[in-house]
Amino acid sequence: MKIAGSTTVITGGASGLGRATAERLSGAGGRVALLDLPKSPGAQTAAALGQNAMFAPCDVTSADEVTVALDAAVARFGAIHILVNCAGIGTAEKTFGKRGPADLAAFTRTIQINLIGTFNCIRLAAAHMAKNQPNEEGERGVVINTASVAAFDGQIGQAAYSASKGGIVGMTLPIARDLAEMGIRVVTIAPGIFETPMLAGLPEPARISLGTGQAGPLPAPPRPPGRVWSAGGPYHRERHAQWRDHQARRRHPHGAALSWKFGGRFAGWGRAGPPGTRMAPR
């Protein structure tokens, strides 16, 4: 899939990883439609990106709102070639703790937004992609989902978040098989920790536990003297955007979940390979 001249719909595109992806693809000559909540800075982000960007406010869990947003993108740019799902929320709560049993409503909301919202956008965007003329490689569209390393290695308090991201990983292959006959490729990326509004919204103890890697039953390996852990900042968000760009352009893999994280079990305990990345097919 060629980025230049293609239209990408990015959910959660107003900030964080979604915005970094929009900046990367827009800079490569693509058109981007940012889907995010009406209260988000989506309009400002689209304005900053220029005439090849637009903001379509919607709630990803609403079939009607996503339908209207996608129709607006097609009306503005003519077609939808790529969908990047970045919209999501994070929660941190033990199954049972000092405050009693976990809040079932919070668990349900996390599943609703992260998992069902992702599927909602895939199914509706696929209907538009199926109308595209196939390119020289037979592709009509590409879907790139965002899971998390928490899908494979969830920490204390991450039951809801891990379940939602594990669901995204689990549905990647069957959705890829469903859409293969229409020439729509599907891949999921499972990144590690980045400085985003979602991470900033977690309680401080949760951010600290994720950062130290000491939330799980296994102790974290000792750090080199003087090293302070920090979540991936702007540089790593840009690397994440580059990885999405790479997956949108290439034909392979299809139906795969790719883990991208700092070296180590969950947090950043000594990087392996190029700084900030470690890609491994799961």
Q: Would you say residue 162 lies in a domain?
A: yes
179 residue type, one letter: L
151 residue type, one letter: A
Count of structural domains, the chain: 1
In 3-state terms the chain splits into helix, strand, coil percentages (rounded to 5) of 40, 15, 40
The answer on pLDDT for 24 being more than 60 is yes
**CA neighbours within 13 Å on the CB side: how many for 200?**
7
CATH code for the domain in which residue 216 is found: 3.40.50.720
For residue 136, report the phi and psi dihedrals to the nearest 5 degrees.
-65, -20
Q: Which of 55, 77, 107, 161 is catalytic?
A: 161
Q: Would you say residue 250 lies in a domain?
A: yes
Q: pLDDT tens across 151-170, in order?
A: 998 889 999 999 999 999 99
d(CA 265, CA 261): 9
Determine how many CB atoms are found less than 10 A away from the CB of residue 39: 8
The answer on pLDDT for 79 being more than 60 is yes
Q: Would you say residue 85 lies in a domain?
A: yes
Q: Would you say residue 2 lies in a domain?
A: no
Q: pLDDT tens across 174-231, in order?
A: 999 999 999 999 999 988 765 555 555 556 665 555 554 444 443 433 433 333 223 3
Give the pLDDT confidence score for residue 129 in this predicted structure: 98
The whole-model pTM stands at 0.75
Q: Is 235 a catalytic residue?
A: no
Structural domain boundaries enclosing 26: 7-281
213 φ/ψ sector (left φ>0, alpha ψ -120 to 50, else beta): left
For the chain, give the mean pLDDT.
80
Q: Which of 254, 237, 258 is nearest to 193 (CA)?
A: 237
The whole-angstrom distance between residue 222's C-alpha and the CA centroid of its chain comes to 30
The arithmetic mean of pLDDT across residues 58-83, rounded, is 98
Q: Which two tokens stand for residue 105?
A: 């409503």
- 141 bridge partner residues: 184
**pLDDT higher at 58 or 262:** 58
Give the pLDDT confidence score for residue 205 in this predicted structure: 62
Q: Would you say residue 1 lies in a domain?
A: no
274 residue type, one letter: P
47 residue type, one letter: A
